C-alpha cells in the first residue's frame, strides 16, 4: 500500500497500563509479595478464596496509588469503593477479582510527552486499584497446566488513558513516561519484560478530518516497549488495508506474536466477558482525608522535570544531557552518588553519558547491575581531574574496572598508565622524534602546521601512551617554532 493512501488516515490510540506495586504484602492479605518464591508458598486462605475469610485493605496500596494520581495531575476521589469483577479462570480461585469500577480513586489527569520533537499532553481517564490473579504455567509439565498462586492478590494499579494518542511513537513515549513516573515514585519497578508493567493498546483508524472514532481493536501480550510500538504500527496498517480493500474493522481482542511480528485473534466482542461487577461487600469505602493527602504530597520525591531543570542549573549541563541523565531515576541517582565522592560534575556526566551508557547498552543491563560502584568511578574521575592519567588511559582503566574490583589508582599503576608530566623525562623523547623526522620538520616550518599532531603521536607512542599530551603539544610547538 502506498504511503499516500496511509496519509489519508489517522490513528486513535488509548492505552491501559497495569503496574504491579512494590508493596511488601498483598493488597488484602498479610502475606509477602516477594517475587521468585517456590510456587504456592505465599498464599493464605484468603488468596485461595476460602469461605469465611475477610479481606483487609493494605494502606500502602492506597498511598501508592494516590502518589501516582498526584504525579499525573489527577483528581483524587475522597470516597471510592471496591467492586467485584466476576469471571472464571483456573488461576483465580475466588472466582472474582477485587477491583474498582464506577468510582476509581484517581481520575481526570494528564501527563506530558515529547515525541519526534513536539510536546503533547495525554489525558488520563482513570487510575484504579485492583489485585492480580495467579499464574498458569503451561510449559513445565507435558500433560498438565500448573497453577502458582503466589501472585494472586498482589496489588496492581490500572492506568487508563484518554484516546489522545495518535502514533505508535506517541504510545511508546507515553509508556516510557509512565515507567519513569512509577520509578521516580518507587511504587513499581517498571520492568515490562518481567511483567511488572503491562500494556494493552486500543487502536482504531479514521479518515483524516473525520471526528467520529472508528471501530477499535484491543492488542494484548506486548512485553516490551518496542513491541508496543511495533504491534500498534502493524495494527494501524492492517486496519487501513482492510478498509481500503472494502472490508470493515471488527471489534476484537488480538494477541501480538513477537516472533512472527504479527497479531492473531484472541476473541471477538461476542465472546467478551460480562464481568457482572457489583460493589465489594467485604471492604468498606476508601476515604481519603485532607490530612492523608497533605501527608502524601509532602512525601512526593523530586519528579523528573524538576530534577532535569536542577541538573541544568546546578551542574551547568545542556538540557539534552540533563534529559538523558534524569530519564532513568536510578541513573540520575548514580550520577549524584558519584558526585558525593568527587566534585567534577562535568567529567562525571561525560563519563556516564559515553562509557557507562555504552556499557549498559552493550550488555543489556540496567544501572543497578552496573559493575563499577559510584565511589570507584569517582576514583577514576579524580585521577583524570588531577592530570594523573590522560583521556585514553581513562577509557582503558574504565574497561579494566568493568572486569575486576580494583581501584582506578591501583589499575593505573598496574597498567603503567600514570601520566608523565615530567619535562626531564619527556625532553629526550621529543628531541629524538624531531631528529628522526627532518623532512616533517621542514614541511612543518614551511607552513604544514597540521603535522603537529603527527609529532605528538610519535612522542605518545615512544612514551607508551604515558606522556601528558597537553604538555607534549607545548614542548613540540616550542621546539619547532624556535
Ligand atoms: P474497556 O476496555 O473496558 O472497553 P473503555 O471503553 O473505557 O474500556 O476503553 C479502554 C481504552 O480504549 C481507553 O484507553 C480509551 O481511551 C480507548 N478507546 C476507546 N475508544 C477508542 C477508539 N475508538 N479507538 C481507540 N481507542 C479507544
Ligand atoms: Mg479494555
Whichever domain contains 437, its CATH number is 1.10.10.410
And the C-alpha cell for 474? 607545548
Residues 400 and 438 in one domain: no
- Ligand 2 midpoint to CA 11 (Å): 17
Mutate to test the pocket of ligand 1, among 11, 14, 108 (most ligand atoms within 8 A of CB): 14
Indicate the number of domains in the chain: 3
What is the number of other CB atoms lying within 10 angstroms of the CB of residue 414?
Answer: 11
> Both 429 and 385 in a single domain?
no
Average pLDDT of the residues of the chain: 94
C-alpha span between 263 and 234 (Å, rounded): 8
248-289 pLDDT, tens digit each: 999 999 999 999 999 999 988 877 779 999 999 999 999 999
For 184-202, what is the mean pLDDT? Answer: 94
Among the three residues 257, 292, 327, which one is the final residue of a domain in this structure? 292
Task: Report if residue 183 sits inside a domain.
Answer: yes
- Tell whether 384 and 464 lie within a shared domain: no
Whether the Cβ atoms of residue 335 and residue 212 lie closer than 8 Å to each other = no
Residues 101 and 151 occupy one common structural domain: yes
Residue 377: which H helix or E strand, with range?
helix 374-385
Kindly give the distance from the C-alpha atom of residue 127 to the centroid of ligand 2, in angstroms, as a whole number: 13
Residue nearest to atom 5 of ligand 1 (CA): 160
Last residue of a domain, one of 242, 264, 292: 292
What spacing in Å lies between the alpha carbon of 261 and ligand 2's midpoint? 22
Backbone angles phi, psi at 430, to 5 degrees: -60, -45
Closest CA to 201 of 255, 258, 129: 255
Q: Read off the pLDDT of each residue in 51-59 and give the average, rounded to a whole number.
A: 94
Helix or strand run (H / E) with residue 242:
helix 225-244
Of the bound ligands, which one is closest to the alpha carbon of residue 277?
1
Q: Which ligand is nearest to the CA of 15?
A: 1
CA distance linking residue 428 with residue 391, whole number of Å? 23
Asked whether residue 179 falls in the same domain as residue 326, the answer is no
- Bridge partners, residue 198, by sequence: 18
pLDDT of residue 58: 97
Name the residue of 130, 159, 163, 212 whose CB sits within 8 Å of the most ligand 1 atoms, as the mutation to test its pocket. Answer: 163
Exposure b/e, 315-350, CB count within 10 A at least 16 = b:
bebeeebbbbbbbbbebbebbbebbebbebbebbbb
- Both 276 and 181 in one domain: the answer is yes
Question: Backbone phi, then psi, for 13, in 5-degree steps?
Answer: -130, 135
391 and 458 belong to one structural domain = no
Whether 297 is in a domain gets the answer no
Contact 203, 219 (CB under 8 A): yes
Structural domain boundaries, residue 430:
423-480
pLDDT of residue 422: 83
Closest CA to 128 of 72, 203, 172, 47: 72
Residues 96-125, mean pLDDT to the nearest whole number? 96
Could you tell me the distance, in angstroms and rounded to a whole number, from the CA of residue 150 to the centre of ligand 2? Answer: 25
**Residue 14 Cα, ligand 1 centroid: separation in angstroms?**
6
Q: Is residue 49 part of a domain?
A: yes
Domain boundary among 292, 316, 339: 292
In ligand 1, the atom with minimum distance to the C-alpha of 204 is: 24
Q: What percent of the chain has pLDDT over 70?
A: 100
CA of 219 relative to ligand 2 center, distance in Å: 9
Task: Give the pLDDT score at 194.
Answer: 87
Longest dimension (CA), the chain: 98
The DSSP output letter for 246 is: T
410 assigned to some structural domain: yes
On whether both 84 and 171 belong to a single domain, the answer is yes
Q: Are residues 126 and 269 in the same domain?
A: yes
- Ligand 1 lining (C-beta closer than 6 Å): 12-16, 160-163, 202-204, 213, 216
Cβ atoms of residues 465 and 415 within 8 Å = no
Q: Return the minimum-mean-pLDDT range out of 48-57, 404-413, 420-429.
A: 420-429
Residues 324 and 468 both lie in one domain: no
Say how far apart CA 110 and CA 162 lie, in whole Å: 9
Identify whether residues 119 and 188 lie together within a single domain: yes
**In angstroms, what is the span from residue 163 Cα to ligand 1's centroid?**
7
Looking at the structure, do residues 318 and 180 belong to the same domain, yes or no?
no
Ligand 1 atom nearest residue 215's Cα: 23
Residue nearest atom 22 of ligand 1, based on CA coordinates: 216
Residue 377 in any domain: the answer is: yes
All three cell numbers of 393, joined, read 588511559
**Residue 147 dihedral angles phi and psi, to the nearest 5°:** -120, 130
Average pLDDT over residues 401-408: 96
Amino acid at each position: 500500500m502506498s504511503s499516500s493512501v496511509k496519509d489519508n488516515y489517522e490513528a486513535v490510540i488509548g492505552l491501559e497500563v497495569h503496574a504491579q506495586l512494590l508493596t511488601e504484602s498483598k493488597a488484602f492479605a498479610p502475606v509477602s509479595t516477594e517475587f521468585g518464591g517456590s510456587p504456592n508458598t505465599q498464599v493464605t486462605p484468603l488468596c485461595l478464596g476460602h469461605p469465611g475469610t475477610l479481606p483487609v485493605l493494605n494502606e500502602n496500596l492506597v498511598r501508592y496509588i494516590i502518589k501516582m494520581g498526584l504525579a499525573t495531575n489527577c483528581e483524587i476521589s475522597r470516597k471510592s469503593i471496591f467492586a467485584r469483577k466476576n469471571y472464571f479462570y483456573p488461576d483465580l480461585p475466588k472466582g472474582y477479582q477485587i477491583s474498582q469500577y464506577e468510582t476509581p480513586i484517581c481520575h481526570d489527569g494528564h501527563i506530558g510527552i515529547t515525541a519526534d520533537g513536539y510536546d503533547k499532553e495525554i489525558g488520563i481517564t482513570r487510575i484504579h486499584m485492583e489485585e492480580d490473579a495467579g499464574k498458569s504455567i503451561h510449559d513445565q509439565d507435558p500433560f498438565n497446566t500448573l497453577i502458582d498462586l503466589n501472585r494472586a492478590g498482589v496489588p496492581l494499579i490500572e492506568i487508563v488513558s484518554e484516546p489522545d494518542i495518535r502514533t505508535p511513537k506517541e504510545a511508546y513515549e507515553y509508556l516510557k513516561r509512565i515507567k519513569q513516573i512509577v520509578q521516580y515514585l518507587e511504587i513499581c519497578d517498571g520492568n515490562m519484560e518481567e511483567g511488572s508493567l503491562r500494556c494493552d493498546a486500543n487502536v482504531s483508524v479514521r479518515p483524516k478530518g473525520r471526528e467520529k472514532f472508528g471501530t477499535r481493536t484491543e492488542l494484548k501480550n506486548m512485553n516490551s516497549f518496542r513491541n508496543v510500538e511495533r504491534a500498534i504500527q502493524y495494527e494501524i496498517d492492517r486496519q487501513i488495508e482492510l478498509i481500503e480493500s472494502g472490508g470493515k474493522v471488527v471489534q476484537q481482542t488480538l494477541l501480538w506474536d513477537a516472533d512472527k511480528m504479527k497479531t492473531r485473534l484472541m476473541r471477538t466482542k461476542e465472546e467478551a466477558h460480562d464481568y457482572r461487577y457489583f460493589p465489594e461487600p467485604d471492604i468498606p469505602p476508601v476515604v481519603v482525608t485532607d490530612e492523608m493527602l497533605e501527608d502524601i504530597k509532602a512525601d512526593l520525591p523530586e519528579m523528573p522535570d524538576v530534577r532535569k531543570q536542577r541538573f541544568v542549573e546546578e551542574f551547568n549541563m545542556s538540557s539534552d544531557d540533563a534529559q538523558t541523565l534524569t530519564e532513568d531515576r536510578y541513573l540520575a541517582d548514580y550520577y549524584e552518588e558519584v558526585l558525593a565522592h568527587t566534585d567534577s560534575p562535568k567529567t562525571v556526566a561525560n563519563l556516564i553519558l559515553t562509557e557507562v551508557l555504552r556499557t549498559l547498552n552493550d550488555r543489556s543491563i540496567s544501572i543497578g547491575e552496573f559493575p563499577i560502584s559510584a565511589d570507584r568511578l569517582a576514583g577514576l574521575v579524580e585521577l583524570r581531574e588531577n592530570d594523573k592519567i590522560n583521556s585514553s588511559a581513562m577509557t582503558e582503566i574504565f574497561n579494566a574496572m568493568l572486569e575486576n574490583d580494583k581501584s582506578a589508582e591501583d589499575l593505573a599503576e598496574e597498567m603503567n598508565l600514570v601520566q608523565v608530566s615530567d619535562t626531564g623525562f619527556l625532553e629526550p623523547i621529543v628531541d629524538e622524534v624531531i631528529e628522526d623526522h627532518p623532512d616533517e620538520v621542514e614541511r612543518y616550518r614551511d607552513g604544514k602546521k597540521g603535522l603537529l599532531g603527527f609529532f605528538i603521536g610519535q612522542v605518545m607512542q615512544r612514551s607508551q601512551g604515558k606522556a601528558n599530551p597537553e604538555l607534549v603539544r607545548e614542548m613540540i610547538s616550542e621546539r619547532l617554532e624556535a
